[in-house]
Amino acid sequence: MRNYLLLHLVILAWGFTAILGKLITLPPIEVVLWRTAIASAGFAILVLWQKQRLQVSRADRWKMLGIGALLGLHWILFFQSARLATASVSLAALPTAMLWCSLIEPLVDGTRRWRPLELLVGTVIVGAVWMIYEVELRYWLGFTVGIISAFLAALFSVTNKQLVARQQSFVMGYYQMQGALVVTALAWICTTPSQLTVPGPWDALWLFILSTVCTVGAYAGYMTALRHMSVFTVNVVYNLEPIYGIVLAVLIFGSQEHMSSGFYIGASIIIGSVLLIPWLNRWVTGERTAAVKEPPFIP
């Protein structure tokens, strides 16, 4: 029960990231720049606290930095999506990462084949995505950016899987935050002619919560919980993230987050499809207690 509650708190924290992205007034690139800088320091502290070593092979270091760059780009687009549309719209696009994972993983992992079940669910998701475009045309740009962000999240998750077996999780977190920091800094230099904005008191508070509670703390809590839980349980709870996030967005922002009934139908189809996958996989494969071996991306 303790680990189950911990996992729900972690997913709730990740669902809160889109809300924080709306509350922080800094440009999305600067939000990610501060987030990755603070999170890098946080993961370094965890590595020292766990008495782990940051020394890794040069090949693995470059791989982790590169994978972290994907995460940084995902975050920039995720927060940009929330700014262009609403937190609910960006969160509705996020579960499409499951479809992207199903399509990308067989191309990266030669032992993995496309699964008819996942492709069928993916087809349903595509239909729901089209429905959202039809009923919320005013937010088409934000939703499109959110879908691209979900694609990068899927690419991060699939490539990250190759390193999980041979690296400590907090060491991976440190190097991936470094990679995200570098690519975000380069994006900021190329797109922002002005000086880096110094956060005001409220922005500093939200950034601190985003970087420590919703990134480093949530990741550490997730790694603690998944050691004691089955794949089935973790996947079901993890897929509740957009539900938590959309509910929080409506409670915090009120009428700003109210959408048409068609949006909620489309979002419910997407989220319901993603939630259904673990149940169907469990029924097909009989999976019950297998250990989780890979962490997801950090939303």
Answer yes or no: is 175 within a domain. Answer: yes
Span 84-115, pLDDT tens digits: 988 888 988 888 887 888 788 787 766 667 77
**For residues 127 and 114, what is the distance between their CA atoms, to the nearest angstrom?**
19
Phi-psi region of 51 (alpha: psi -120 to 50; beta: other; left: phi over 0): left
Q: With 0.85 as the threshold, say if the pTM is over it.
A: yes
Span 127-143, pLDDT tens digits: 888 888 888 888 899 99
Answer yes or no: is 142 within a domain. Answer: yes
Three-class DSSP category at 297? coil
In the block, which residue shows the tokens 């149940």? 279
Span 196-207, pLDDT tens digits: 888 999 999 999
At residue 291, φ and ψ (nearest 5 deg) are: -80, 145
Take residue 164 and report the two structure tokens written for it.
Answer: 């999980």
Answer yes or no: is 268 within a domain. Answer: yes
Answer yes or no: is 42 within a domain. Answer: yes
Take residue 74 and report the two structure tokens written for it.
Answer: 């995902």
Domain region containing 13:
2-285
Mean pLDDT over all residues of the chain? 84
Answer yes or no: is 135 within a domain. Answer: yes
Answer yes or no: is 292 within a domain. Answer: no
Amino acid letter, 226: L
Answer yes or no: is 121 within a domain. Answer: yes
Answer yes or no: is 294 within a domain. Answer: no
- Within 13 Å and on the Cβ side, how many CA atoms surround 88? 24
Structural domain total, the chain:
1
